[in-house]
Each structure stands twice: as structure tokens, then as C-alpha cells.
Structure 1
Amino acid sequence: MNKRYIYTICLAGCLLLTTSCEKFLVQDHPTSVYDELWWNTSADAELGLYRGYVGIPDGLSGRQIMFLDALSDQLVARQSTRGEYEAYVRGIQASDWDKANHIYMDNYKTIRRVNRLLENIDRVYMDEWLRERYILEARALRAYYHMELLMLFGGVPIVKTALSPDNSKMQRNTEEEVYAFAMSEFRDCAEKLPAKYDFADRTRITSGIVLSLMTRLALFFHDYEAAKDASLKVIEGGEYQLYRSANPANSYADLFRYAGEENNERIFFKDKGNSGAFKAIGMPSEGGQSVLSPTAAIVDAYQLKDGRNLSELPADSVALFHRDPNHKDMRDPRLKASILLVGDTFLSSTLNPFDNSGINANRLGNQYATVTGYWVKKYLDERDKESTASTRILDFMIIRYAEVLLSYAEALVELGEWDHPDVLYYVNMVRNRASMPNITLEKYDSQEKMRQLIRQERTVELAFEGVHYYDIRRWGTWKDVMNGTVYGAVDPETGQKIEVETRTTNGNRSYWWPIPEVEMLSNPNMEQNPGY
């Protein structure tokens, strides 16, 4: 049997910390090649490193980053074949919750792959400069997977070796210990990794990716000084810029379509990471399944083009924009670029979920129809309707430059520097790209007002990108927005927003995800999160 094939079988089959796969913990295949015989050439090392990159999540398939915002007030998810997101928002998720099990096991499986490379790469015959770079990439990947586990589960075991059955029963490290480990690894790698690669290696870990990950992690744990320093280094590095299309008015919309796929705004992205997008968010009249539906809360978050919020308008105007959210095209253009509204046209379909006359595949209540009366437009490209195995798949951006700019501004505000010139400069840079007017200190004349503005700006700029779920938790607003009734579009017959579902966070229980049941059963040293 081919050695490389054996290695691939091993990596695909291995699950960390489960007794059923113990042989895979110490050799590549139960009856074949051991590590001592595998690691010989640079090609072996390259394949080993590649397996560490496999764990980077997709947007609407696999780990489904966009679906994280279905655990926030932005989206509602349906169809349990995609995961039991409804269980979480109803507060009834348990230690057998499929999403927690998937991400926990997948991350630790990939961490083990990376550790195997780090433990064996010194025996490989290869150029020293390349060996050093592979080691840095692997360490950064390992830190990223620990970071994701930390931000979902809290303190988890820090795993720096390819565990064997004899030492696999590890205890949890504290949140502080995992945070310190990830930040230390990121910091060291950021200093030594290249700032960029050629096109063929465009998805490899760079110093900019590492600094951007540091920024996100530091913000989550309110380490605003570290977030400010890391994000400023990305800005000053000069490698990234906000995307602008040939028609500036289309810049934001094109960023999430094939028209703008090759851009300098994307920092950390998954190559072809948008597989299955049309089926997940498209409407049934065009062959989609509308698994994700935007809520009224996110629709209402967009300002008017003149910079006013709905809350600043008289009651009759608010009611008008509830009935017709983009009345006379008066709203922030990012609304139209991100969400399909009642009456909009997509391909050959005029979308009206309240039309009960004749055949209407998109009617509320129909199988695969929207449950809120709205559809996700971001990352929905008409070309994907006819996609086949041979066609192109859109990349998915995990972190883009606009997020870094807003994170830098937020860190300044939280450090008390709310009136720092950079806050206005970079927030306005993001807003102007979307054809929105400048904010001024005349209106946002306090730390609290600027804080709320930046939070709103993150909410609409980064909608459905898997960022908002982390944001509402670190802001401390998640209990407020994740309890109570979820509303959708206004029903023209009743004049009221439709009620979609009732959500419950069960107090602090839902802040951290449950440690998977399989881990609790196989590891007597593991402690469960409170409430599970």
C-alpha cells in the first residue's frame, strides 16, 4: 500500500481522546507505517502541514462559520440536518449537542496532526529556512485551534504533544492559561512569519493573519491594550486595504461575490470555503433551502443613508420602515447588499413570502421557505445556482481588514481614547466604502455614544460572518438579545411583525458550550462546564 495513502487514511480516521482509536494515536495505520518510517522528505513535511490546514472552517459547509450567527440575534436556523442550532437558542442543549461535539473533536484532531508534524519535522531532509517556516505555520495553526476552543468552551486542555493512550486523560487548563499560551505562540510567530506569499501560497498563515487572530482573541477577553497593539501592527504593515470595485457603489456587495473575490481586504480566508452556499441560503423557487433566515433585529440595525438610526425617527416613520425596510432606497446600502427583502428580485423570482395566491414556493410555512420573511444575500451569487463539481467555488473570508479597523477603533474607545483621531478616521473609512456619511464628535461626544456606534457598525458591517455571536457575548449583551421573541418581516394583513420563535439562554449556562459527552465518558479527569 502507498505510504502517502496510508498516512491520509490515518489522519482522516483519528479521533483524539477516544479509546476506540487508540492505535491511531501512536502509528499511521494499525498494521503499517510508524512515524519513525514516514518522515523523510520535504514532501512528507508539506503533506503533514497541509493536514493541519484542513481544520480551517468553511462558511456554509463543514463547520459552517456563518451559522454561528444563528446563535445570535441576527439569524434563525432551521433543518436539523445542518445541526441542532434550535436546541441552543431554546436553552436545551446538553453534553450530546452535535455542534459542540463536532467542533471540539475536529479541533483536537487537527491539533494532534500539527503536533505530529512538530515532533517529527527535525528528522526530515529539507532546507532549514523552509523547516523553520513550516514550524511557525504549525505553531500558529495550533494556537488558532486552541483559541477557537477557548472562545467556545472556556478553559480546555492545552495539548502540545501527539498524545498516546497512556497520557491522553488530560485535565482542563484555566481560561487564563489557554489565553496566555495562544497569545504567546501568536506573538512569537507574528515576529518571524512572512508578511505575504506568492499567489500559489496565498492561503498560508502570515504575520498579518496571526496579528489579526491576536486582535480578535484579545478583544474577546477584554485585553484592549493587546488588541490595540496587534491591530495597529496590521494597519501599519500596509499589506491590506478595503476592497473597492470599478463601480464604487458596488464595492461592499461585490466583496462577497465572484466579482470581488480576489481582493486585498481578505486576511484569513478558506480557499473555496463557500461550498454549498446556494443550497443553504438560496430560496426554494431557485433551488435553495433557506436554512438561514435574517431577523427583524438585524434589518432594524441598519441606519438611514443620512446617518440616523431608526430609534431617532418619529413613530410613524419607524412603522413605515418596518413595513418597507428599504423604503425609497433610503437605508444603509449594506442592508441591500446583505439581505433580500420582501418584494426584491433574485434571478427569476420576485420574493413575497406572504403571497398566498397560486403556487409560491417561497411562501411562509412551506418546506425550505424563509421563516422570517427575509433571506441572506451576502455570499449568495447567481452563478452558484448552476454549480457543479467542475465549477469554481467562492472563497470564504474568516477575518477581513474592515474587522481589524473596527477592532482597533473599539480598543481605543475601551481604553478611554474615544476621541482619538484614529477612531473617526478608521470608522469613517469603513463607512465611506459603503457610501455612508462620516460620523463626527459633535454627535458622538462621549465614550458611551462612541461605544454604541462602533458596536452597531460591527453588527452591520460584519453581519452573518460568524463574528456577532462572539461580540454579543464579550459585550455582555447576549442575555438581553437572546431572551424573548424573535421577530421577522411585517405581515401585510396584520400590520405586525411575525413572531418566529421564543429564545431562552438559561442564565449563564449558554455562555460556554458543553464539553462533549464522549469526552466526559472517556476522560475521568475532565470537568464539565456549569449547568450541564
Structure 2
Amino acid sequence: MKTYIKIIFGLFFIFASCDEDILEVSSTTQISSETFWQTESDVRLGLNGIYNRFSALEQNYIYFDVMSDNAYNNYPWEGYKAIADGTHDASGPGAISWIWADCFRGIGRANVLLENIETMDGLNSDFKNSTMGEALFFRAFFYFTLTDFYGGVPLILESPKLEHGQLPRDSKEVVITQVLADLNAAAALLPENQSEVGKITKGAAKALKSRVLLYNSRWGEAATAAQEVMGMGYSLFPNYRDLFREVNENNKEVIFDAQYISPEQGNFMELYLGSYTIGGWSSVVPLQNMVDEYEMIDGNSIDESILFDPSNPYENRDPRLKQTISVPGATLNGIVNHVGEFGGFCFKKYTEYDEFDVVSATPYPTQSGLNAIIIRYAEILLTYAEAKNEASGPDATVYAAINEIRARPSVNMPPLPSGLTKEEMRQAIRHERRVELLLEGTRYSDIRRWGIAEDVLNGLTDAGGTRVFNPSRDYLFPIPSGEFDIEGTKLEQNPGY
């Protein structure tokens, strides 16, 4: 049995501080399931364990873009580059097993909490309801993530047992049905506002529901779910660049994020993204293909606009380009052309640095307290626009949703032209999702759910060579090879692996 299976199916794995590989049940430093689940403090510790598993999974979600046509991963050992290249298999790279294991760890922790809290007396009813709602939300989140990457998986709704290692896969449809049931139940239990910053709210449950429905092409339901969130008081933050700075965390646009506190519980996003010339790793860098996606300020593509000057290609562009990406020739902390070694670009989004002349360069922090935004109001507008367009065509509400994003004060792009066909609007929405949500973990899922992954990836060149996407297998990850080492397993591998 693999080590992580011991974590998943052990009796005591719910604590944020407890990631030991093997449970020592006789140790006086451990707490058994018989002596735990007695007080509100116990419940809070169990809930923190679920949040901890979520944060461990999501601090790497910027790497999801390197598997798409948005970005490139400079370092193969970081666990994603081989997927982008199409050379991955069931044994690796690391992301193949990390995502699977982290999700099932989170599911196990949620199931333990849900099972035990039901039998506890004396808990404040509001606290109990909110805690159950948060656990249901996270169980749904982890299962949804599994279906997105692997398809159908074993559906487990009870505390972990050793025999769960022999369960067969349930269909994706069965798992998604449970995901939606959990999110509906969570929304009914959760408050609209939490007293503790960063905790899951009713809006987060409804927002995730809209994403689940969208990703599963349930257009009418997705539009309705998104519209519900649109009526909950969220709004766009006026400055796109500043939306992703630590000083502006938890603003009215953010619906659901992973909370980090530096340096004790920071993430490594700024270090991964930052220019290598001032102490970053440049692990994830934009592709030229992505840079070319940004329109000119007249709303036309670089191929169509009379404003485009090949000798000055980054001027008169959608302002989100320079608010997201540092381009060749830019000055960063007093260094000109600071990113030329890796294709001339690096990301500014999710870093604190801008293009201003500072004589003394300050290195990127090894850990950042900047939160990773998982769902924000702009995505809800995009979800509504796509779902409504697919369900009934480009009516005035579809235009309004997209144009609201384009009219953000720091962006101020022209509205979409009137009279678009359904297909033309579809392409406009797909463009807007790619530009607006860059580095937010959606593009790889988008190109697969739209069925265009082979079209945009095959033949795409980057610093490592030419991408290959095999449509007969690569729309899903393989089930990690270690799962098939479990005695008596009934799992079946995905096609092509």
C-alpha cells in the first residue's frame, strides 16, 4: 500500500499540523478518534485541516496554465511540463498523483468532520450549520476537481476505511450529481457573511455551483446559478492590476480564495512567477501566443487593427496586457529588459512589482501572504454570458455581462460590436475568459471542455520544443499508477494509458 493511501485512510489525518505518513496510535502526542470530537475547539481543528488541504492544493494552481496555450514551465521537475509536452503517463509527472492525493485527503477530512459533528451535543447551532456547510462545500470542490482532471472516481461519503481502497470508479455523472447536492446543501447552511475573513459563504457555494454546471454544459442551469450570484452584492474592483495585490485582498469582487499569511503560512506564487533577474524563479512565463491574444484598444485583434505597429507591438493594447505581463523593453526595479532570457516576458499578476525605476532592486519574497483567488465576480459574469449565449443566444444580458468586464475603469476597452451571431459571441466570450482569467487556473479546463485542446496545443512551440496533445487520451489525466498497487483494487485506467 502506498504511503499516501495510509494518510487518506488512516484514523487520524484531519489536523492542519498532521501530515505524518504513518499514524502512531499509541503515541501520547496523538489524539485518537475516541477522545476527539468533544468540543467546539475540536471541530475548529478538524475544519482547519480541511482548509489546510485545500490551500496545499491551490497554491500551485498557477501551474495549470502551463498545461494550456497560455504559459510555459521552465523547470520539468516542478511537475507539470511533461503534461504540456504530452509525454506524461500514469507514473508522472508529479501533478498526476498530487492532485489525486490532495483531493482525496480533503474528501476524507470532510467526511470525518461531517460524520462526527452530527453526534455532538451542545454546539452553537449557527456554528454547527456553518461548519457543516463548509465541509460540504469542500467535499464538493475536491470531487469536482477530480472529475475535471480524471473523470469518474470512487464516490465516498463516509469516514475513510481500508476497504475504500478497493472501490471501483463511479461515473462522472454520478459524482457530479453528488457535487451539486452538496453545494445545494452547503448554500442552505452557510451565511451570506462570515465573521471570520476567508471562510466559505453562501455566495461561494452558489458561485462554485455555477462553475460546475458550466463545465458540464448544463447551460440553462448555469446561467440561472450565475444570475443568483450576480444579485448577491458582489462587484468588480475598479483596478485590474491592483485586484491581485495583498493590500486589496477580500474586496467586493472576491467570492472565494485561498487565504495565506506570510511568512508562517505563505504561498510561493510570487517567487514562482517573479523575474529571475531580481530573485524570482521565472517558473511560469507567458507564451507569445498568449501575448498576441490581447486586442488593440480599438477592440480589434493585432491582425485586424490599423493601430498595430510591429515595430512597437505592445503599445495601444488592451491595458490588461501590461497590467498582467511585463513585456520586453520594460524597466523593472531599475533593470531594463529584465526578462529577456526566457522569451522576453514574465508575469506581473500575483506579484507586487510594477514597471517603475527603482535603483535598488528588492528580491521577491520566498513566501508571500497574497491570497490565491479561486472565484471572483468577473468569472460569474463570464459564466452567465457563456451559459446564456449557449442556451438561447446573444441577448442584451449577454452583452451587458461581457461589456461590464471590458468597461472596468482601469481597462476601459470598447464594448462588443452589436449584431454578433451566436458563434461570434461564443468566440468573443472565449477570448474574454482567456485574457481576464489568465493565471487563475481555468484555461486548461476551458480548452478541454470546449473540445479544442488539440487545435490550440498541437504544433504550439515553446522554449522546450513543440507541444503534443493526443485527443484519444489527453482530455483526462491517467489514474496514478500507485493506485493499482493496492491489493484488490477495482479501479480501471483511463483510455490510452
TM-score (norm 1): 0.83
Unmatched tracts of structure 1, length 5 or more: 15-20, 245-250, 353-361, 365-369, 488-498
- In 2, the alpha carbon distance for the partners of 1:28 and 1:439 equals 66
Match of 1:492 in 2: none
Matched ranges for 1:375-454 at <5 A = 375-382=346-353, 385=362, 393-418=369-394, 420-433=395-408, 434-442=411-419, 445-454=420-429
- In 1, the alpha carbon distance for the partners of 2:388 and 2:14 equals 48
1:57–1:510 Cα change, 3 Å: farther
1:411–1:175 Cα change, 3 Å: same
| SS of structure 1 residue aligned to 2:292 | helix
Measure how far apart 1:63 and its partner are: 4.8
Please point out which of 467, 473, 479 is paired with 1:509: 473
1:197–1:11 Cα change, 3 Å: same
- In 2, the alpha carbon distance for the partners of 1:28 and 1:508 equals 50
Unmatched tracts of structure 2, length 5 or more: 1-11, 355-360
Measure how far apart 1:189 and its partner are: 1.6
- In 1, the alpha carbon distance for the partners of 2:190 and 2:58 equals 28
1:188 aligns with 2:185: yes
- Across the aligned residues of Structure 1 and Structure 2, the Cα RMSD in angstroms comes to 2.5
Match of 2:232 in 1: 237
Please point out which of 441, 447, 452 is paired with 1:466: 441
Matched ranges for 1:103-114 at <5 A = 103-114=99-110
- In 1, the alpha carbon distance for the partners of 2:304 and 2:449 equals 26
Match of 1:270 in 2: 258
| SS of structure 1 residue aligned to 2:256 | strand
| SS of structure 2 residue aligned to 1:343 | coil
Q: Deviations over 1:311-366 (max 9, x none)?
A: 3247xx76x34x53313xx00000010111110111121116xxxxxxxxx553xx
- In 2, the alpha carbon distance for the partners of 1:45 and 1:345 equals 50
Matched ranges for 1:69-468 at <5 A = 69-83=65-79, 85-97=80-92, 98-124=94-120, 125-198=122-195, 201-238=196-233, 240-244=234-238, 251-272=239-260, 275-313=267-305, 320-321=309-310, 323-327=311-315, 330-351=316-337, 362-364=339-341, 370=342, 372-382=343-353, 385=362, 393-418=369-394, 420-433=395-408, 434-442=411-419, 445-468=420-443
TM-score (norm 2): 0.89
Q: What percentage of aligned pairs have identical amino acids? A: 31
Measure how far apart 1:35 and its partner are: 1.1
1:253–1:525 Cα change, 3 Å: same
Matched ranges for 1:11-26 at <5 A = 11-13=18-20
| SS of structure 2 residue aligned to 1:397 | strand
- In 2, the alpha carbon distance for the partners of 1:33 and 1:374 equals 50
Q: Deviations over 1:136-176 (max 9, x none)?
A: 21111111110111111100011111222234311100011
Match of 1:17 in 2: none
Match of 2:41 in 1: 43
Q: Deviations over 1:4-58 (max 9, x none)?
A: x9974884236xxxxxx5x68xx69699643121111110011111111112246
| SS of structure 1 residue aligned to 2:461 | strand
Q: Deviations over 1:236-270 (max 9, x none)?
A: 122x11002xxxxxx11111123433411011101
Tell me the amino acid that sits aligned with residue 254 of structure 2: R
Q: Deviations over 1:41-81 (max 9, x none)?
A: 110011111111112246xx975101100000000002133
Count of residues paired in the alignment: 471
Contact 1:342 1:374 in 2 (8 A): yes
1:505–1:205 Cα change, 3 Å: same
Match of 2:7 in 1: none
Contact 2:204 2:256 in 1 (8 A): yes
1:13–1:186 Cα change, 3 Å: same
Contact 1:295 1:486 in 2 (8 A): no
